[in-house]
A and B are shown apart, each in its own frame.
Chain A
Amino acid sequence: MTKINDFVVRFANVNGTGSASANNMFAKAIFRMGIPVSPKNIFPSNIQGLPTWYEVRVSEKGYLGRREGVDLLVGVNPQSLTQDIATVKTGGYFLYDNSKKLHKEFSRDDIHFIGVPMIELCMQHYSDARQRQLFKNMVYVGTLSVLLDIEMQVLVGIIEDEFQNKTKLIAPNVQALELGRNYVKEYYQYPLDIRLERRDLIGNKILVDGNTACGLGAVYAGATVAAWYPITPSTSVVNAFEKYAKKLRVDKESGQNKFAIVQAEDELAAIGMVIGANWNGARAFTATSGPGVSLMTEFLGLAYYAEIPTILINVQRGGPSTGMPTRTQQADILSTAYASHGDTKQVLLFPSTPKECFDMTAQAFDLAEQLQTPVVLMTDLDLGMNDHISEPFSWDESQIYQRGKVLTANDLENMAKFGRYLDVDDDGICYRTIPGTHPTKGSYFTRGTSHDEFARYTEDGGAYTRKAERLLKKWHTAKTYMPKPLFYQEKSNQSLGVVFFGTTTYAALEAIELLENQGVKLDAMRILAFPFTDSVEEFIAQHEQVFVIEQNRDAQFRTLLINELEINPKKLLKVLNYDGSPITADAICQQIENHLNHAKPQSNHQYVVHKA
């Protein structure tokens, strides 16, 4: 059966052989043909030599989550051959380099083998060893373009864009494509029964990774200080910030930077610098992943307690400990929400798309200054390091930076009495001053020790309690500042609900459609922030049972809901994935069906299952 614009291609490469740009080109070509596409890097914590995969899902229906089952595998890594051949679906294709003959033991009767002598072709046409290796990647892209009907002029266009500044390289790259194309045309029937057809489903969307979006968001938000310590998968956030800052934030006259970036000695110092800079009135941020958040925890407690704006981007990876540094999870929910010893609650934002990474990074700066507290953007490796189709970035030019309650010298002149922690407006948010504002008014002593309304050290139980409760009042105020959840129906009308956040969204939306086709109807809510707004509580109250989909073992988000909203744990059902790969719609459907099937015999038509 022919499948147009609906298949998965997986590339099996060796790390460090230049395959990434060829693979990206493949995905981008599909994107430029107007077809929804979702590429994912599956890579080792290694620089050179180990197996790496690149998986591209093509879905005319716009399903952009990962899907199990490979329709076509490009196997150019001898190390992983056995495993790669095994992953191909029955009836699928295995494209390989037959410069060396494939041993019999690898053969499978239920899939098609397509051999192309990639190395041989490159040996014949190129003399330089590095070129032979790099162009081999282009040869398989050329091969695929014939097999899957990728438009040649689209590929040439991408090559021309890529080598704008090195035009000499355009012709040899196009030639390598042709080598692959000509070989397939001569020896194989084409196109395959899985193939592409141009559509117009992309509109003005862009294809970009979340980390780039966060870095750019920080530039637009007016961040002037970034301090960081390298850690996968967050490194490219600060790299992107630096790249755009160097382009957009250098004073033209003096050639001097309107920004400062410090690679710190560790994550403790990185967050310390961010706190110091924000305390002193600059917008500063850092980016890290789980192990870094663990190290930053003491400082996050200080920022919470001394009420200093702090912006942290947590690109989550597989934990605990060093865990799986190059695999994805949503497993820092609880450790970040309650980061620090003592009674602490931290504000979290959960983006799902690069556009939301951009918007919410900018929003994080406003919220941190308005609420005078840390705000953590909870993204993950899948969102941060993989390209996603996204709404284009945009910026409301009429908006101003929300700097919160900061007193000027003039304000200080005209006020009777300044107390850093006086709750003047009765919303739990106090007025702060920036060092250097006024010669004799407004100075105070910032401290992590218990303090009274005038920032003086105290061990008085009454003063301590007033502070603790005022912080709780601020937390309630914070709810009104948070982005509201998104609902995928006009109003709740099913007895079953489903809750998800972050990158789980892609697979969750697909699963909801698949389940609906099977007659299982669910109301859906995507949560964007912690503290939870009132509408989160209402949605859960409106449903008999609510599935909480997330990517960690312990159902941490579910725990957070139970803990914060005092929900009966039995009401919230776990739907989980924690093997390090992005969750799939199939996995979600299966777990929801299991819950429903198990529940049926005991319950008295507790679930309303609508048959289609």
Chain B
Amino acid sequence: MSYIKPKFHHPQSPQNDLGYIKSDYEGAISTLCAGCGHDSISSAIAQACFEMAIEPHKLAKLSGIGCSSKTPAYFLSNSHGFNSVHGRMPSIATGANLANRDLIYFGVSGDGDTASIGMGQFVHVARRNLNMVYIVMNNGCYGLTKGQDSATADVGSVSKAGSKNMFQTVDLVSMALELGASFVARSFSGDKAQLIPLIKAAISHPGFAFIDVISPCVTFNNNVGSTKTYDYVREHVKYTSTVDFVPEAEEITVEYAEGESKAVKLHDGSYLQLQKLAPDWNPQDRFAVYEKLHRAKQTGEILTGLLYIDTESQDLHQLLNTIKQPLNTLNEKDLYLGNEVLERINAGFR
């Protein structure tokens, strides 16, 4: 199905700094199930981009295969999108980013697409610190093929068909930390107040920004006994901090009590203002975060919020020492070498 939404909008719809209205950041009508967590995330992405006044054509949406990977059709229709093959979005994103470092690369994947078939590419895109946002819409099951367990299903979690998952779960957040991802967050599709600033921060982060978003599957994994239902997540969620994204131009106005807040300056000059709910939480201490995540897992708590950030990391372009000018703008003038050089090379083969 492919609907075109009506273009009509209220003349007084609020505009962002570029003069765009919210609907300029929307996409085609979703074909996912009513109540799907993924649609909330799509809407949060559109809202974050609207509020940040991103030029839609300066962002490219990329995905693999699965319910989650369909969503780039449902937001930012003025952006180029690429729905690639199953589990391989990271390589497409890597190539695209190498070609033009000036765009924002927004990758959307699912738990099957990332934690199973795409595990290899996820691992390597994280360790290369590609400058991109990587969102996993994580529902613990395969929706498009009717509800099989995925690798992020918790041990003992019960599927709609009534069977218990016997296998160890893949915790993508811990993995991302282990692999050296420079921005790691977790959120919940039902909590836009937390998700939207996290997405903004991820966009601003100049490296691999990973957000694991628990996003219940209303059709195949919202039953009693599953650990990825709306009810279960709400009962077990624990906030590490609340996050406020403060763009470069604005001043920090909210005041927090000493020791409760922390401002993290990002490379583009914007700030993340964290109000810490756990007093000893330090999102810049990779090892401490790693330990806390593991402890929380044992007690069944789902830690959310900005879990880790490294503001000094070097992205792939810096590591490869590529020129500032996007490679896709180099033309004959920049690249032609001529016959004289070639004649010298020929001489070396005589």
Contact = CB atoms under 8 A, between A and B. Distances in A.
Given A436-B100, A439-B55, A443-B77, 15 more contacts: A224-B328, A225-B95, A244-B345, A249-B335, A257-B320, A258-B330, A268-B121, A272-B88, A273-B92, A436-B58, A436-B102, A436-B103, A437-B57, A439-B78, A457-B1
B98 A277 contact: yes
B342 A395 contact: yes
Nearest to B73: A445
B337 interface: yes
Contact of B332 (A264, A270, A280, A401): A401
B338 A397 contact: yes
Interface residues of A, number: 74
Interface stretch (B79-87, B161-169, B246-254): B79-87
B123 A265 contact: yes
B190 interface: no
A86 interface: no
A260 interface: yes
Given A266-B120, A298-B85, A443 B92 contact: no
A258 B334 contact: yes
A61 B331 CA distance: 44
Contacts of A489: none
Contacts of A273: 91-92, 94-95, 98
B92 A279 contact: yes
Interface of A: 31-32, 204, 206-208, 216, 219-220, 222, 224-225, 227, 244, 248-249, 251, 254-262, 264-266, 268-282, 284, 298-299, 302, 392-395, 397, 400-401, 433-440, 443-449, 452, 456-458
A119 to B, nearest CB: 33
A206 to B, nearest CB: 4
Contacts of B34: none
A272 B84 contact: yes
Given A273-B94, A277-B98, A299 B323 contact: no
A444 B100 contact: no
Contact of B349 (A207, A224, A278): A207
B197 interface: no
Interface of B: 1-2, 28, 55-58, 60, 62, 72-73, 77-85, 88, 90-100, 102-103, 120-121, 123-124, 128, 316-317, 320-324, 327-328, 330-332, 334-339, 341-343, 345-346, 349-350
Given A269-B124, A272-B121, A457-B2, A256 B95 contact: no
A256 B330 CA distance: 14
Contacts, number: 228
B88 A443 contact: no
A554 B199 CA distance: 55
A24 B166 CA distance: 60
A264 B124 contact: yes
A401 B58 CA distance: 26
Residue among A277, A302, A433, A458 with the most chain B CB within 10 A?
A277
Contact of A272 (B2, B57, B94): B94
Given A446-B80, A446-B83, A282 B327 contact: yes
Residue among B28, B320, B331, B349 with the most chain A CB within 10 A?
B349
20 contacts: A32-B350, A204-B350, A206-B350, A220-B342, A225-B327, A248-B337, A265-B123, A272-B95, A273-B94, A275-B95, A276-B98, A279-B92, A280-B100, A395-B337, A435-B79, A439-B55, A440-B78, A443-B77, A446-B83, A448-B84
Contacts of B328: 224, 277, 280-282, 434
A243 to B, nearest CB: 11
A391 B95 CA distance: 34
Contacts of A248: 337, 341
Contact of A256 (B120, B322, B349): B322
Contacts of B1: 457
Nearest to A266: B120
Contacts of B79: 435, 443
- Nearest 4 interchain pairs by C-beta: A276-B95, A272-B91, A282-B99, A273-B95
A277 B99 contact: yes
B90 to A, nearest CB: 7
Contact of B323 (A251, A264, A434): A251
Given A265-B123, A446-B81, A207 B98 contact: no
A448 B65 CA distance: 10
Nearest to B102: A436
B95 A280 contact: yes
A435 B321 CA distance: 23
A445 B100 contact: no
A440 B93 CA distance: 22
Contacts of B88: 268-269, 272, 299
A308 B73 CA distance: 19
A414 B226 CA distance: 55
A220 B339 CA distance: 10
Given A256-B322, A256-B323, A282 B98 contact: yes
A191 B57 CA distance: 75
B96 A435 contact: yes
Given A220-B342, A262-B98, A448 B91 contact: no
